[in-house]
Amino acid sequence: MKAIRKTLTPTDLAPFARALGHTLNDVTRLRGGSKKGVYRLAFPDRSTAVAYVWSPDEDLWDVGPGDPRDPFSHASGLDLFTAAADRLAAAGVRAPRLLHADPTHTHLPADVAIVEDLPGGTLEDLLDGDLPAVSKTEALKRTAALLDTLHACTGPRFGKVAVVDNGGSSYGGSCEAVVAERALSDLDELPARDPRAAAAHPQLSDALRTLASQVRPRTGPPTLIHGELGPDHVRVTPDGDLALIDIEGLMYFDAEWEHAFLHLRFGPHYDALRTEDTDGAEDTEETDGAEDTDGLDADRLRLYRLAMHLSLVAGPLRLLDVGDFHDPEFMRGIAEHNLRQALSFVERT
């Protein structure tokens, strides 16, 4: 089990304040950040900035560096962040502005980025009724517009932006093949963890293979997606402007993967992010017969939804194995909900 991570002190982070021309008044660890430490730096003039610290001591997953050629490898590190920030800026999508970066580990044994501290809260706060500055309807309308801007961008190959924009290629022959292989690997972890998963393993394996066989090859270019775009990963400023955070997983991939996650995380608010349907395809899972979002492949979306559920069972259980997550019951709840949703795929057949 991983030891409980230590919070960095003002002494640890003072050199980064000096790099911005400030002295440091105070440091506060911010919530979230399971792959990195996130700290607010407060300065004497009442301005603030945010420090991202990527180090093994701050990474709750305790898996070590991943191979970025795997689109779903551990999305952590300064290189992934800066590549994503540059690509979003080119696309016209706001993210916290980079103020200072230290890839040399001069002051800490870790990659560190200092970014602007965006005032306000998250879209999740707003949807929960905790942000009065802008209406839910307007915020969701702006989120839909942000998605349109993001998804209008494409890449020459699928994979992490840091790989593709540097001329590299990713493992795997196609997006759907990568998703199916990863889902089968996630599934194979589960029988030892839960008797329901063990009993349903053959049926779930068959369902994955059947859904994968129904996906037609895609000839168009992959779409720019965030990859984990829940309302907690959208900052809302007091004037209603939106910015994406936790952007290290930015990649070129199928838009269906983004929409599988959006539907899961936005729940009843997801319809506000949809556009008019043009192909009349019927959705068979979790939407009570609603039509698919314009331009999405229904077969691909069904495969990705099952794969997403399995990922959100295996991933949280791995994190709990490591230990030191601040709210283990919350993480168990995620795994339980997604296991039930995955099992519903085979209960219908």
Q: Does residue 73 form part of some domain?
A: yes
As a residue count, the chain comes to: 349
pLDDT at 65: 72
Q: How confident is the model at residue 280 (pLDDT cuts 50, 70, 90)?
A: very low
Q: How confident is the model at residue 31 (pLDDT cuts 50, 70, 90)?
A: confident
Q: Summarize the confidence of residues 237-241 as an average pLDDT.
A: 89
Residues spanned by the domain of 259: 123-347
Residue 338, domain CATH: 3.90.1200.10
Higher pLDDT, 118 or 280: 118
Pick from 79, 87, 75, 86: nearest CA to 36:
75
Phi and psi at residue 149, in whole multiples of 5°? Answer: -65, -45
> 327 pLDDT exceeds 70?
yes
In this structure, are residues 142 and 242 in contact, taking their beta carbons and an 8 Å threshold?
Answer: yes
Higher pLDDT, 81 or 282: 81
Phi and psi at residue 267, in whole multiples of 5°? Answer: 50, -125
309 and 203 both lie in a single domain:
yes
83 and 162 both lie in a single domain:
no
Pick from 180, 185, 178, 201: nearest CA to 339:
201
> 275 pLDDT exceeds 80?
no
3-state secondary structure of 323: coil
Per DSSP, 315 falls in state H
Residue 73, domain CATH: 3.30.200.20
201 and 239 both lie in a single domain:
yes
- Structure token digits, residue 45: 């003039």
Beta-ladder partners of 116: 49
Q: Does residue 2 form part of some domain?
A: no
Rg (CA), the chain: 20
Of 56, 86, 118, the residue that ends a domain is: 118
Of 118, 148, 163, the residue that ends a domain is: 118
114 and 129 both lie in a single domain:
no
Q: Does residue 80 form part of some domain?
A: yes
- Domain count of the fold of the chain: 2
Q: Does residue 3 form part of some domain?
A: no
Strands across the sheet containing 121-122:
121-122, 234-236, 242-244
Q: Does residue 254 form part of some domain?
A: yes
145 and 48 both lie in a single domain:
no
Query: Residue with structure tokens 């911010």?
Result: 30
Pick from 204, 184, 185, 188: nearest CA to 344:
204
Cα dihedral 280, 283, 288, 294, rounded to 10, equals -50
In this structure, are residues 253 and 175 in contact, taking their beta carbons and an 8 Å threshold?
Answer: yes
101 and 132 both lie in a single domain:
no
Strands across the sheet containing 251-253:
159-160, 251-253, 223-225
18 and 133 both lie in a single domain:
no
CA dist., res. 243 & res. 220, Å (int): 28
Q: What is the 3-state secondary structure (H, E, C) of 42-55?
A: ECCCCCEEEEEEEC
177 and 317 both lie in a single domain:
yes
What is the β-pairing status of strands 251-253 and 242-244? unpaired
Percent of the chain with pLDDT over 70: 90
pLDDT at 169: 96
Q: Summarize the confidence of residues 188-195 as an average pLDDT.
A: 95
pLDDT at 139: 93
User: What sign for the dihedral angle of Cα 177, 224, 67, 58?
Assistant: negative
> 33 pLDDT exceeds 80?
no
Pick from 276, 316, 277, 281: nearest CA to 301:
281
CA dist., res. 296 & res. 257, Å (int): 10
- Structure token digits, residue 8: 């960095």
- Structure token digits, residue 55: 């180090």
Q: Does residue 317 form part of some domain?
A: yes
Of 118, 152, 179, the residue that ends a domain is: 118
Q: Does residue 24 form part of some domain?
A: yes
3-state secondary structure of 272: helix
3-state secondary structure of 111: strand
pLDDT digits (tens, 9 = 90+) for 67-120: 999 999 999 999 999 999 999 999 999 999 999 999 999 999 999 999 999 988
CA dist., res. 6 & res. 115, Å (int): 22
CA dist., res. 53 & res. 31, Å (int): 13
264 and 293 both lie in a single domain:
yes
Q: How confident is the model at residue 134 (pLDDT cuts 50, 70, 90)?
A: confident
113 and 128 both lie in a single domain:
no
What is the β-pairing status of strands 98-102 and 159-160? unpaired
> 234 pLDDT exceeds 70?
yes
What is the β-pairing status of strands 223-225 and 251-253? antiparallel
> 50 pLDDT exceeds 70?
yes
Q: Summarize the confidence of residues 180-192 as an average pLDDT.
A: 97
228 and 245 both lie in a single domain:
yes
Q: How confident is the model at residue 131 (pLDDT cuts 50, 70, 90)?
A: low
Q: Does residue 1 form part of some domain?
A: no
104 and 130 both lie in a single domain:
no
Residue 330: partners with Cβ closer than 8 Å, 6 or more residues away: none
Q: How confident is the model at residue 287 (pLDDT cuts 50, 70, 90)?
A: very low
